[in-house]
A and B are shown apart, each in its own frame.
Chain A
Amino acid sequence: DTAVSQTPKYLVTQMGNDKSIKCEQNLGHDTMYWYKQDSKKFLKIMFSYNNKELIINETVPNRFSPKSPDKAHLNLHINSLELGDSAVYFCASSQEGTGSVQYFGPGTRLTVT
């Protein structure tokens, strides 16, 4: 069984479009995250939710809006896509607590043309 799953795996779209990436975890974790990995492989946190509440919101354009319908899901909606949004987006989850291991999904490669 896949612990953290994301859909779609690949997403190719044009500038100006709106798109969503879905994430689900079946580990029973309370905390979920979204990361962006750019072409230089830097993995940078974007958002974190704990029990459906937004906890971490890094300096991310407000075109990015996370939505957590329940503890097991954290979706990422992106409005007015730009070329610079092209990257791989990873969802992750962890238990609460300092030092908790994060379990990552397989990633969604977003290409904006």
Chain B
Amino acid sequence: SQKIEQNSEALNIQEGKTATLTCNYTNYSPAYLQWYRQDPGRGPVFLLLIRENEKEKRKERLKVTFDTTLKQSLFHITASQPADSATYLCALGYGGTSYGKLTFGQGTILTVHP
């Protein structure tokens, strides 16, 4: 079965630095990969989508890369702010009859210190 690992369970960085979160998977490559943000006591919120034929996507201070050879996605937050502190989840999706089924990683808790 597919296994997804996000890098360290917790990541602490200083305000203004770039946070880099890793999502590794085994076995078969997904058709797409999504990143979500989850704040305590709330549901996940979508951030970025990248498809298997795309190498990189950007949105404001966020950037995601997708390397199907390494079976890895990197999620970057540049010029990080304390408000970026949250749990970040990567999720793999497959086409065909999977009907939007997402398989989530365990999440990385990001803390940005002032």
**Which of A's residues lie within 8 Å of B, judged by CB?**
4, 31, 33, 40-45, 48, 50, 55-56, 90, 92, 94, 96-107
Contacts and interface: CB of A to CB of B under 8 A. Distances in A.
B104 to A, nearest CB: 4
Contacts of A40: 106
A65 to B, nearest CB: 19
22 contacts: A4-B43, A33-B100, A42-B106, A43-B107, A45-B101, A45-B102, A56-B98, A90-B43, A90-B44, A96-B100, A98-B31, A98-B32, A99-B31, A99-B32, A99-B34, A99-B93, A100-B100, A101-B46, A102-B34, A103-B46, A104-B45, A106-B42
Interface string B78-94: 00000000010100010
A23 B100 CA distance: 18
B4 to A, nearest CB: 10
Nearest to B96: A98
Candidate in B49, B95, B99 with the most chain A CB atoms within 10 angstroms:
B99
Contacts of A33: 100
B87 to A, nearest CB: 7
A7 to B, nearest CB: 14
A96 B41 CA distance: 27
Nearest to B32: A99
A16 to B, nearest CB: 28
Given A98-B32, A101-B49, A56 B101 contact: yes
Given A31-B100, A42-B106, A43-B89, A98 B43 contact: no
B51 interface: yes
Which residue, of A4, A100, A107, has the highest number of chain B Cβ atoms within 10 A?
A100
Contacts of B97: 55
B107 A41 contact: yes
